[in-house]
Each structure stands twice: as structure tokens, then as C-alpha cells.
Structure 1
């Protein structure tokens, strides 16, 4: 029954002081404005104003509607503004899922310029151990999946954005620290620390140890990168991490990177998105910043 034009008419009458001025402000003719209000009065069964000569007098119903117009219209205009921001991509939330523990530190370097470029957009990061990454992407629980191990699926596209080398991490005074690279059998006497991921998904097993029919002395898991590196620095064992991350931590923790085999183990961080969202402005910005 009540639409926004009715509210705008009552607000402009209050602002402009007359029907003629209100009609001019709304780009209406005065007869059109009057007809709109007369039609509303017929629908609600009560007059909104009375006229005595050139003077306009609001009824109690008219005064009530004028007060409500002053209250509701700013809220509706705010809704219009926010919806316009969503339409332009200036507002919203980009939900990112992680299938790579050390990739979180890498992502922090990308999020900062992203937030600067999109001040109205929030970023929500979900860690790998909280959900299944690919399933979350299919179910629209996340918009982007960060993973070094993309799995081909219809409806999902993975973009390679950051190449890196997976290296062995040893204490700076470890006997292996001075070697150019290590062979798989050299880890048979070492305690190997990894994130709590099954060996089937760990590069150190699948690309290095198992092809050579080797196993570490023991395999222990820890969730926290700092704790893994502190254990390595204390001589309790070795670990594998991206070289860029080891070099960053080596500035404050006495650890050193060593190549896994003469050729090394080379990886890529990929950003996975649903095919129907691959042209999303926020996702395209994240991909561009990741590659830069």
C-alpha cells in the first residue's frame, strides 16, 4: 500500500513548505503529486491533509506518515547505497580456505594489499583442519581454496600463482646443514616433524622417501610452524617446509634449508575457484596480487 514515493512526497512537503515546491523537487507536476496522494488516501481510508485556500494542513494521519518518512527514508537510502556497493564489488566478504599450513604465512602478504585495494571487503580465512577444502568450495562455504595439490574436478578451476621449492629444514649446526642436498637414505636415522597431514598427502613421503623405499626413524606431527622450527633448532629432528618460509624464519631461529635430492622438490601454490565465480572482481584481484 505505502511505497517510497508516498514517503518522499511527505518528506519534501516538510522540507519545501508547499505542494508546488515539493513537486518541483521531485520532478513531478503538482496535479500528479496530488493525484498520487489522493489515491493513497483512498486506499487507507483517511485523509492525509486538508487545504484552506493556499495553506496545507496535515491531518494526524499525515503527520504520522511524515514522521515515518523522516525515519524510514534515510534507512532505505542506506540500503540502496550498500546494495550499490555490492553491485560494484566495493563491499562483501571473500572467504578463503587453506589446504596448506605454511601457506597461511604466504597469504598474509597478499591480504594486506588486497584489503588496501578493497577497504569495504572483509576476508575470512578457514584453516584446513576445520573442513574438506574441495567439498567446501563445491558447497559455496568458501570462494577460494589455497592448495599446493590441486585436484581436477568439473566446475573447479585452479590457477598456479606462486612457485616454490620444498626443502629439508635442519638445525644450523646439524651435520646435514653443510650439504648441497640430501639423499633419502640420510633421513633414515632422523625424527621427521610434519604437520598433521596423512603421509599420502606429504611431498616428503610421496616425492622423496617412498620412491627410494626409505622411511624416517620416527614421524611426529605438530600443528604450529613455530613449534616445529623450535624442535628442529633444538636438534630434536628435521622437517620440510617451503624454502621461502625457512629463509624468513632463519633470521630469528638457528635453522637452515637443504635441498631434497639433487634436483629438488618443486611445487606451486594454486588458487582454486568455482568456474562460475572465476570472473569475480575480488577473486581476480587476489590472483593478480598472488602472482605479483
Structure 2
């Protein structure tokens, strides 16, 4: 049994006869009749019976029609998916994150995605930084990247990757030779963070607050480069993800240190609206984001 035979049975049933089915399949009546005969020979039974000048499916024909509906729908879905992958759909994805450091890796991945989907416009909404979930709920974003998911039935989260947070200190700092830092090590330090409130800062949530430790001072600097230079000038210590720190550790004068004996691991999620139906390219973008970051992490680990 071939796909053309399934299409034939489906067309005859939908059009109500051979004559109309010929127009749908772009076949002559004799060619269609031959294909129907071939199918019946292969099955060893009749597919249709002619009753009162109408073609009525036999029991075998009914089973064949059910198979045709399932198989042809699957084929058409796959063809649509491939066309979308090759040609790309047209649309826009508005995206933002909760932290400026994420913009170190996001633009390069967006550029790779647009090589595959040139008709999909990707737009970073910088003004939504630090509050992407709220902007997503208000309709100002399509995808929010966050490490701090909130419990809300209106939101759906897809895990992208896991990264590790490290403290960064000057190489001459008194903490530089420690294998790992504890909450108490921050008690007499100036902690450089990207933004307030403190409840959104990972080192506060998972290290300092549980131990009831408050740093001696706190400096807010949204730009990663400025925060790193402040640490380099011995004016404080900062905590950032390993991939964000990597370019700054290539020069001398800085050292990264783990947080706690097991390290501070952080999950990153893509958040979307749970009740909204998104075009196919949204799911493709999230999968692309997840796969490309994972592959990149493996390559970094191997290098």
C-alpha cells in the first residue's frame, strides 16, 4: 500500500465519487480507476461497493480511510514544519531578561537564529530588564528569560540551562586564596550588584539571607564592565555567572572563587504566557536557544 493509494481513498470519500476525485488529484478517470484496482488487488478485497450509483466504503475501506486520515495528516504536518524551517515564517519576538549580563550571550544566539529564520524579527526590549515577567504579563514581551520564576498560573516556564555563580575578587585580596566563600566572608565587604531589590540578587537569596548576613556596604552598578573594573580597583567584590566572567579573567589581577562547598547553581528559564497560542517559530526559537546554549557550554567545558 502506497501513500498515493491512501490519498486516492481519502479523495473519493471527501468528493463523493471518482469523477470529482479526479479533479482534486489531477488524474484522469482511467488512471484513478487503475490505482483503485491496484489497491484492491494488494488488499485482496474491495474498498468500495457501488450501491444506487454511489460508492460506499466496505469495512476494509473504512479502516483504510481511518489510516489515510492519520497518515496524511502526519505527512502534512511534517511538510509544514519543514517549510517553516527552510523558508521561515514572518513575525516578531520581543524578548528581555532580568539581568544585563545575559545580553553577553543573547545577541550572538539571536543572530544565529535569524540566519535560519530571516523573516522573524527578534527585538530585545531593554527597558523590560529587571522586570521581564511583569512585562510579559502586561503584554509588552513575548518571551522573558529569568532565573527567578514566580508562581503564576498565567505563566509557563521552559528550562534553558544551568549556570554557576562565582565571587570575583582582586588577586591580592585577602579572600583570593580561599577554595570557596561562605556567607560570613561577605560581612565586612562592599558587595557590587547589578540591581535592587536585594530579593532578586542570587547571592543574597541563596547565600547571605539564609545565614542572616548583610554585607558592610552595597554598590549598585548595572553594567558588568563597570562592576568588574570596580573589583579590579579593589573597591569591592562581585558575584556573577561563570560565562559572564570568562572574558575578564583572561587578564591578570582577578580571581574567581566558588560559593559554598558545592557551588551556587542557578537555573535559567524562558517564560511565556500559558494560555496564549504562539506561532511555530516561537517554539523553534526556544528550542534553538536551549540547544545552542547547551552545546556552547559543552564546547567551553571541553576547551
What residue is the counterpart of 1:185 in the other structure? 184
Q: How many positions carry a matched residue from both structures? A: 207
Map of 1:211 onto structure 2: 210
Q: Secondary structure at the match of 1:214?
A: coil
* Structure 2 unpaired stretches of 5+: 1-83, 292-303
SS in 2 for 1:216: coil
Structure 1's 213 and 96: CA in aligned 2 closer, same or farther, altered over 3 A?
same
What does residue 102 of structure 1 align with? 101
**2: distance between equivalents of 1:103 and 1:91?**
26
Alpha-carbon contact 1:97-1:142 (below 8 Å) kept: yes
1:232 paired to 2:234: no
Q: State the 1:256 CA deviation.
A: 2.0
Indicate yes or no: 2:183 matched with 1:173.
no
Contact 2:193–2:220 (Cα < 8 Å) also in 1: yes
- TM-score normalised over the length of structure 1: 0.65
Distance 2:108 2:276 in 1: 23
Which residue number in structure 2 is paired with residue 116 of structure 1?
115
More off after superposition, 96-105 vs 131-140: 131-140
Moved more, 162-171 or 98-107: 98-107
8 Å CA contact 1:94–1:124 kept in 2: the answer is: yes
Q: Answer yes or no: is the 8 Å Cα contact 1:230–1:253 preserved in 2.
A: no
Q: Secondary structure at the match of 2:250?
A: coil
Q: Which runs of 5+ in 1 are unaligned?
A: 1-84
Task: Name 1:14's counterpart in structure 2.
Answer: none
1:220 aligns with 2:225: no
**Larger deviation: 120-129 or 209-218?**
120-129
1:177 & 1:252 partners in 2: Cα distance? 16
Distance across 2 between alignment mates of 1:274 and 1:123: 18
Q: Distance in 1 between matches of 2:249 and 2:232?
A: 10
Query: Does the aligned pair in 2 maintain the 1:171–1:256 contact within 8 Å?
Result: yes
User: Is this contact kept in 1: 2:98–2:129, CA < 8 A?
Assistant: no
Deviations 1:29-70 (A, max 9, x none): xxxxxxxxxxxxxxxxxxxxxxxxxxxxxxxxxxxxxxxxxx
> Measured at CA, do residues 116 and 223 of structure 1 come closer, stay the same or move farther in structure 2, by a change above 3 Å?
same
For residues 251-286 of structure 1, give each alpha carbon's deviation from its aligned partner in whole angstroms, at most 9, with x where no partner exists: 247322111111221101110011244653222222
Q: Tell me by how many angstroms 1:137 deviates.
A: 1.4
C-alpha separation between the residues in 2 aligned to 1:202 and 1:227?
A: 17
The alignment yields a C-alpha RMSD, in angstroms, of: 2.3
Report how far residue 226 of structure 1 moved. 0.3
Q: Is residue 143 of structure 1 aligned with residue 142 of structure 2?
A: yes
Q: 1:100 touches 1:148 (CA, 8 Å); kept in 2?
A: no
The answer to which of 107-116 and 158-167 deviates more is 107-116
Any idea what the Cα deviations from partners look like across 1:180-217, whole Å, max 9, x if unmatched? 10111111121110012211111211211121121111
Alpha-carbon distance in 1 for matches of 2:211, 2:127? 29
Preserved CA contact (<8 Å) 1:271 1:287: yes
In structure 2, how many angstroms separate the alpha carbons of the residues matched to 1:253 and 1:115? 37
Matched, 1:287 2:278: no
> CA distance change for structure 1 residues 139 and 213 in 2, over 3 Å: closer, same or farther?
closer
Deviations 1:145-184 (A, max 9, x none): 0111111211311111010011111123323222210111
Task: Report the 3-state secondary structure (helix = DSSP H, G, I; strand = E; otherwise coil) of the residue aligned with 1:150.
Answer: coil
CA separation of 1:191/1:132 partners in 2, compared to 1, >3 Å: closer, same or farther?
A: closer
